[in-house]
Amino acid sequence: MKHKSLEPLKEWFGYTRRERRASFFLLLMIIAVAGIRFIVPNRKINIEILQMEDSLTLADSSPVNDTLSQDQKSQPGRVSRPSSVVDINKCDSAALEALPGIGPVLSARIIKYRNLLGGYADISQLKEVYGLPEETFDLISARVKANPSEVRKMSINTAEYKQLIRLPYFERYEVSAILKYRELKGKIEGIEELVENGIISEDKVQKVKFYLDFTK
């Protein structure tokens, strides 16, 4: 029987002997990769993947990271730690400047107004400081305090005009009226007496009552 020639087939593929050999090895590799799931059990592969994921998890939760977290928690000024409250009747400019929104200019004005008043009876008086925005007060209101007992009082029965007018809440006509009434009455017994005689208003009482002493 006459064998048919393979030359036309070789010519159709156009491969050389070296290329056919390389193609044969490539085919073997493809078959090996495709059949690896039948050679290596799927359960073993899954176990190895799970072990790799566990190793990555342990690496992320290493003692180094735990130590770093503890260090961060122990650092002052963090949001997680409550900030110290500033006493606006005793603090210096540095303590004020540490508050949000308070710079050197505002801190100087807060201290100057404190000296003018004789001390802050309430933190709401910070709103009266020139140039201090409402937004800034809202930011610092939870971090400041003021004790009314620390306010410096003046004697309503002995103070002179220049002392009384120094209190920002008094108008000139009010100070003049107080002095005239004191001259006629002799001694003012209480702040209610000034209201009853129309010398100051009830609204004004809420502002000046912390700064006046009627005992002398």
Alpha helices in the chain (DSSP H): 7-13, 17-34, 36-39, 42-60, 63-74, 93-97, 104-117, 134-140, 161-164, 172-185, 191-196, 202-208
* Claim to verify: residue 142 and residue 168 sit in the same structural domain: no
DSSP string covering 112-150, please? Answer: HHHHHHTS-SSGGGGGGSTT--HHHHHHHGGGEE--GGG
* Claim to verify: residue 95 and residue 132 sit in the same structural domain: yes
Number of domains present in the structure of the chain: 2
By three-state DSSP, how is residue 91 classified?
A: coil
Residue where one domain finishes, among candidates 150, 172, 192: 150
CB 112 within 8 A of CB 150: no
CB 204 within 8 A of CB 169: yes
- Domain assignment present for 95: yes
Residue where one domain finishes, among candidates 118, 150, 182: 150
Structural domain boundaries enclosing 137: 86-150
Residue where one domain finishes, among candidates 99, 127, 150: 150
- Domain assignment present for 117: yes
* Claim to verify: residue 97 and residue 145 sit in the same structural domain: yes
* Claim to verify: residue 158 and residue 146 sit in the same structural domain: no
* Claim to verify: residue 162 and residue 146 sit in the same structural domain: no
Q: Measured in whole angstroms, how far is the alpha carbon of residue 101 from the centre of its chain?
A: 11
pLDDT (tens, 9 = 90+) of the chain, 216 residues, equals 545 555 555 554 555 666 666 777 777 777 776 666 555 555 454 545 445 555 544 444 433 333 333 444 444 444 433 468 999 999 999 999 999 999 999 999 999 999 999 999 999 999 999 999 999 999 999 999 999 999 999 999 999 999 999 999 999 999 999 999 999 988 999 999 999 999 999 999 999 999 999 987
